[in-house]
Amino acid sequence: MKRILLPLLLALALLLATPLAASADTVSATVQAPKGLNLRQNPGLDATILLGLYNGETVTVLDGLTTPIYANGVRWVEVGVWRWGYWYTGYAAFAYLDKYGAYGGYHEPVGEWGGSDGLKVTAGALNLRWGPGLAYGIGRVVPYGTVLEKTGAATVAADGYNWQQVTTGGGLWGANAWLTAVP
């Protein structure tokens, strides 16, 4: 009995310790963000950051491809990644994943903006700063296609750019050169 039970238990232990193979319908994507990409607890720019995804890292797309998930004017997908022997899941900006985003084939958010005075980011990524000028620190980086809302503050000229304050991050500033009005 012991001769049969011991090999059976060893085989079971090995099976449980081995990660399950990906199913045939699993979709993977590669992060295309030179400065990294935040994996967030929920979709949205104000959601808790769980960890940073590395440029070139492969993630598994779990949700958000067939039914888009929008928050803060950004399209999000739920992804999973193995890191340090643990499986992490969260939300990442769709625009920074190859095959599906990475600016080629990224579907513009249409009919999602319900506010007034919207500004769409036209750069690959836009640094939003703590004040109107390049000397101010970066408070947040937002991807292409993000729709931001103006605060009503006057445009300020500094460092060769006109700067517009937006409600994101409690009043960060973006250069108008990479923003276009959304009707």
- More confident call, 107 vs 11: 11
CA distance 80 to 75: 17
> Is 64 within 8 Å of 90 (Cβ atoms)?
no
For residues 80 and 114, what is the distance between their CA atoms, to the nearest angstrom?
31
Is residue 36 over pLDDT 90? no
Neighbours of 62 (CB within 10 A): 15
This prediction has a pTM of 0.51
Rounded CA separation 156/169 (Å): 18
**Alpha-carbon gap, residue 106 to 65, rounded angstroms:** 11
Rounded distance between C-alpha atoms, residue 74 and residue 70, angstroms = 5
pLDDT band at 160 (very low <50, low <70, confident <90, very high): very high
pLDDT digits (tens, 9 = 90+) for 119-137: 888 887 889 999 999 999 9
In order of their start, the domains of the chain are 25-112 (2.30.30.40), 118-182 (2.30.30.40)
